[in-house]
Amino acid sequence: MLEPSSPQQGSFFDPEYVCEQLIPEDSFYRKFREKIRPLIRDDMFESMYCLDNGRPPISPALLAMATILQFHRNLSDREMERACMFDIEVKYALGLRLDERPFDHSSLGDFRLRLLQNDKEKAVFDCLIETLVEQKLIGKTEMQRIDATHVLADIALPTMVVMVKKGVRGVLIPLLKRHSKTYKSLGKKISLLEYDHRRVDHEVDGRLDMEAKQKKLVEVVSDARIVLRKTETIQNDDELSHQVELLKRILREHITEDGDGNPKEKTRKEKPSDLLVSPVDPDGRFGAKSKTKKFHGYKANITETVSSRFITSIQAMPGNRRDGAVTVESVVEQKAHGLKPEKLIGDTAYSDGAYRKELKEHGTELVAPMRTRNNITRAVFPKRMFDYDAKKNTLTCPAGVTIPQSFYDRAKDIRIFHYPLTSCGPCEHLNQCTNAKEKRRVVGIGPAHAELMEAERYNRTDQFKEDMKLRPAIEGKLSEMKRYHGLRRARFRGLKKFSLQCYFTAVAVNIKRWIKLESMKWKPPPHSAPT
């Protein structure tokens, strides 16, 4: 039962009696107490609790503030419990008595679970952004920048044998709990001890014995198929169904057969792009920040105000998604706080015409370098040299030849223009215009053609150069989150849990920035003031 906490009678053990002279005026923890304690209230989380039944819970506002400090210091649950017991700065920030042990470390995990179950993982972040906007520390039209960073998943990459074994074990656990008869019958067909938690990570003795590894793979895949056959008739068990689908996916994506019909692992090229990395964290994915920088896990995409340097949006993504995939979503979701940045500055990953078109409709100009042309089109005339007439649906080449649309690709929403050989063949610019084998030019015009042409013109101006000078500073914000607040590696497994980590990390960083700007008596410049 959630009920308001009543103020306790003052005593020597209250932090106000002891810490007022001990904690410096400019201390982060004093400022945290002054600004965050009035901001985060129990009623923000009342939908997570029963209002008229059960024992009174630990104050959810206290747990939320403790979680912020936990991410600020990059502490584990047990370390945060100890800090709340013995660290006088933490006690003062949270308003705890000096002799108080406020909660067990498990309460932090329970609180996070309640946040996730009630879709409240973003509540504290939204509350802070609203406050910063109200206090005019974030301008409603202030220019913003965007970038993404990779985050390693909290897993060890398994071998193929171990991955299949983990998939089988995932099915066996709910079978043991709720379908003991089926579980016992499996014991007559496979070795259940092989999938015990003490042996599930064991492959074979001898790291270089490839023949033994292949033999073991055949054995565990055969066991997996037996388990799937035994469970196919069981219904109305969501946990079991989820684990069964996970095991099926492992076999489907990773396993094929040799000429003799024996199971073997697929080559990397044979595996799908959206490949399951580990059954322990089904949402983690293989990703790449560059040709040489490969990782397994997630990405965190952030938008940051240019002048005040507050994080206004943070999006968690699987590692295999493109950096720019949430560009529009990152800006549009800020509308709930009354924010509509006049410009959004990003790198080449955010330069797609579709992003530019959608953001322009939203009222935001996307500023980003155009993508470098590939080797096939490097020596040809760029598309900007062709004049497209949208009303007549015609295209005029640099030589002055005008042609109508050849056909329309509905799947890609692209208008295709094929220049005839009779026009391209005798043209003196042919070698500069195209290097295609058929010796004629083909041009595709997409729905964002006008925005791309406008961007190409803008990118040749001095103002574009000045805008791009503002982008690199966001790298420092990403570095701060990774180096000091634990975003280098995912604390939890699963995309939604990782989202919670992202939001609380952003809250901790924004509070640091808020306190710093207050100490500097910083005021937003006139051009970023709310309208």
Q: What domains can be seen in the chain, in order of their start residue?
A: 15-120 (no CATH), 144-151+285-369+464-528 (3.30.420.10), 160-270 (no CATH), 383-447 (no CATH)
Tokens of 382: 């760029």
- Residues 149-199: tens digit of each pLDDT: 999 999 999 999 999 999 999 999 999 999 999 999 999 999 999 999 999
Let me know how long the chain is: 531
Long-range contacts of 413-416 (CB under 8 A, 24+ apart): 413/446, 413/447, 414/444, 414/445, 414/446, 415/444, 415/445, 415/446, 416/442, 416/443, 416/444
Q: Please compute the mean of the pLDDT values over residues 482-489 and round it to a whole number.
A: 96
Q: Please compute the mean of the pLDDT values over residues 393-401 and round it to a whole number.
A: 92
Q: Please compute the mean of the pLDDT values over residues 89-109 and round it to a whole number.
A: 92
For residue 531, the model assigns a pLDDT of 42
DSSP code at position 57: P
**Looking at the predicted structure, is the pLDDT value of residue 527 above 60?**
no
Q: Please compute the mean of the pLDDT values over residues 334-356 and round it to a whole number.
A: 95
For residue 203, the model assigns a pLDDT of 84
**Looking at the predicted structure, is the pLDDT value of residue 417 above 80?**
yes
Q: Please compute the mean of the pLDDT values over residues 407-415 and round it to a whole number.
A: 89
**In 3-state terms, what secondary structure has residue 171?**
helix
- Which of 388, 411, 409 lies closest to 398 in space, CA to CA? 388
Q: Please compute the mean of the pLDDT values over residues 273-283 and round it to a whole number.
A: 92
Long-range contacts of 370-378 (CB under 8 A, 24+ apart): 370/452, 370/455, 370/456, 370/459, 372/348, 376/435
For residue 468, the model assigns a pLDDT of 96
Confidence band, pLDDT 50/70/90 cuts, at residue 52:
confident
> In the chain, pLDDT over 90 holds for what percent of residues?
72
For residue 1, the model assigns a pLDDT of 52
Tokens of 495: 């995309």
CB 22 within 8 A of CB 88: yes
For the four alpha carbons of 137, 139, 140 and 144, in that order, the dihedral sign comes to negative
Tokens of 500: 């919670």
**Looking at the predicted structure, is the pLDDT value of residue 386 above 60?**
yes
Residue 505 exposed, middle or buried by CB count within 10 Å (0-12, 13-18, 19+) = buried
**In 3-state terms, what secondary structure has residue 287?**
strand
**Looking at the predicted structure, is the pLDDT value of residue 117 above 50?**
yes
* Cα maximum dimension of the chain: 96
For the four alpha carbons of 507, 508, 511 and 513, in that order, the dihedral sign comes to negative
For residue 297, the model assigns a pLDDT of 95
What is the phi/psi pair of residue 525, to 5°?
A: -65, 155
Tokens 């940051």 sit at which residue?
304
Q: Please compute the mean of the pLDDT values over residues 381-404 and round it to a whole number.
A: 91
Confidence band, pLDDT 50/70/90 cuts, at residue 271:
very high
Mean pLDDT of the chain: 90
Q: Please compute the mean of the pLDDT values over residues 502-520 and round it to a whole number.
A: 95
**Looking at the predicted structure, is the pLDDT value of residue 4 above 70?**
no
**Looking at the predicted structure, is the pLDDT value of residue 432 above 90?**
no
What is the phi/psi pair of residue 301, to 5°?
A: -105, 125
**Rounded distance between C-alpha atoms, residue 397 and residue 427, angstroms:** 11
Q: Please compute the mean of the pLDDT values over residues 389-417 and round it to a whole number.
A: 91
Long-range contacts of 212-221 (CB under 8 A, 24+ apart): 213/159, 213/161, 214/264, 216/161, 217/160, 217/161, 217/164, 217/263, 217/264, 217/265, 218/262, 218/263, 220/161, 220/164, 220/165, 220/168, 220/194, 221/164, 221/251, 221/255, 221/263
258-267, 279-288, 432-441: which is most confident: 279-288
**Rounded distance between C-alpha atoms, residue 511 and residue 311, angstroms:** 10
Give the chain's end-to-end CA distance (angstroms, integer): 43
For residue 7, the model assigns a pLDDT of 53
Q: What is the DSSP string of 309-334?
A: --EEEEEEEETTS-GGGGHHHHHHGG
Buried b (16+ CB within 10 A) or exposed e, 312-321: bbbbbbbbbb
> In the chain, pLDDT over 70 holds for what percent of residues?
94
**Looking at the predicted structure, is the pLDDT value of residue 124 above 70?**
yes
Confidence band, pLDDT 50/70/90 cuts, at residue 377:
low
**Looking at the predicted structure, is the pLDDT value of residue 81 above 60?**
yes
**Rounded distance between C-alpha atoms, residue 348 and residue 351, angstroms:** 5
**Looking at the predicted structure, is the pLDDT value of residue 373 above 70?**
no
What is the phi/psi pair of residue 394, to 5°?
A: -125, 160
Confidence band, pLDDT 50/70/90 cuts, at residue 329:
very high
